Structure 1
């Protein structure tokens, strides 16, 4: 898979252990199997600021993924990374859109609006469990986790899987595969070679 970022955003921070860790986690988002990932920024305030500075420096002009910094009600910081091309594939599923409408999202679907509604909910004390849809988890698993539908808990892998696990395993395996690919790329490629992918 060829992903080109022709910006100079990626070179300066490549040797940062923190950015390398983030890149591995974001492998499925960067490579397109996963529409989004949310990360908590941990540590005391100066450490959080340093981490955010590294994220901004590395990803600010990257053309393949966007990010949103979210300040939570309790002083926490989260970063939502989004691959809009992959996200648009999620919302070709009308059942996902209908469920989000049921939860109060606007009746006229617009991806940017739906992402903004999710971000607003992430500021509040009530964590929006429907985020699983935005993270690319199968709808049946999101519904089961939220107490909707008739599927029983089958197992827990990266997330809780409800009902028939076959589609869940397929999705999970694609995420894990892309993460492994990104880890190998980080370990085995030069800065210029990685820049052509990220």
Structure 2
């Protein structure tokens, strides 16, 4: 059984929400992924939406993670969690910037305006060009949108087009980060310490 499944055994309180966020956001917390989108709903076993509305924003106080609500209904939230430094670096990367500008994103007006524009596009489904902000390689976004002649090679967290080496390495980093967060929590770290992680070595944070 995966470590993530082992530690998410109690789901009726703030502690559960902080554990869930720490695991889901680990690649962004640790710097492998500029942003992560989460769809937050209540289910019979996991009242995540209720817990988020009670505790969520407060749990991110002191964290490097910001959040932006892309869509809200009475029973669901779609939230983009991101590290501002990394997401700005992502959208200003020359090839990414050129692509995003060509799809209407107001990159030159800054990250905040870019997110507002993204929200306007985020209606029934995620716009495919949004994958860039999630750290998906441009070649794979172009391939998925039918804007490239590179063949579909394989699939994992997303469809991979052309040479898979770089994309598979990125996927592995995402998985490794989640496993690391789960290991730290299983080893005794409070989830809020993972959420507030800021590049320090683990040993330096042990009291």
TM-score, normalization: structure 1?
Answer: 0.80
Q: Is the 8 A contact 2:150 2:162 kept in 1?
A: yes
Following TM superposition, by how much is the alpha carbon of 1:72 offset from its aligned partner in structure 2, in angstroms? 4.4
Q: Secondary structure of the equivalent of 1:77? A: strand
Change (3 A) 1:107 1:88: closer
Q: Does 1:148 align with 2:147?
A: yes
CA offsets 1:132-188 (integer angstroms, 9 cap, x no match): 100001000111111111111111111111111011012111111111111111111
Whole-angstrom CA distance in 2 between matches of 1:82 and 1:107:
16
> What is the deviation of 1:112?
2.3
Q: Which runs of 5+ in 2 are unaligned?
A: 1-12, 199-207
Q: Which runs of 4+ in 1 moved over 4 A?
A: 72-75
Check the 8 A contact 2:42/2:50 in 1, yes or no. no
Q: Which moved more, 1:182-191 or 1:23-32?
A: 182-191
Query: Which residue is equivalent to 2:94?
Result: 94
Aligned to 1:79: 79
CA gap of 1:186–1:115, structure 2 versus 1, over 3 A, is same
Q: How many residues align?
A: 182
Q: Which structure features the higher share of helix residues?
A: 2
The DSSP-based 3-state class of the residue aligned with 2:68 is strand
Q: Structure 2 matches for 1:51-90, cutoff 5 A?
A: 51-59=52-60, 61-72=61-72, 76-90=76-90
Extract unaligned runs of 5+ from structure 1.
Answer: 1-13
Following superposition, the deviation at residue 50 of structure 1 comes to 2.8
Question: Are 1:97 and 1:109, in contact at CA under 8 Å, matched by a contact in 2?
Answer: no
Aligned residue in 1 for 2:38: 39
Q: Alpha-carbon deviation of 1:192?
A: 9.2
More divergent stretch after superposition (162-171 vs 110-119): 110-119
Structure-1 separation of matches of 2:53 and 2:179 = 24
Q: CA RMSD in A?
A: 2.6
Compare 18-27 and 105-114 and name the one that shifted more.
105-114
Give CA deviations for 1:62-86 in whole Å, capped at 9, x if unaligned.
Answer: 3401011233479631111011122
Quote the Cα distance in structure 1 between the aligned partners of 2:68 and 2:105.
Answer: 19
Does residue 157 (structure 1) correspond to residue 156 (structure 2)? The answer is yes
Which secondary structure state, in structure 1, belongs to the residue aligned with residue 104 of structure 2?
Answer: coil
For each residue in 1:43-77, what CA deviation from the matched residue of structure 2 results, as whole angstroms up to 9, or x when unmatched? 27xx4233332212211x23401011233479631
Counterpart secondary structure, 1:130: helix
State the alpha-carbon separation in 2 of the partners of residues 18 and 42 from structure 1: 12
How far apart are the structure 2 equivalents of 1:71 and 1:133? Answer: 19
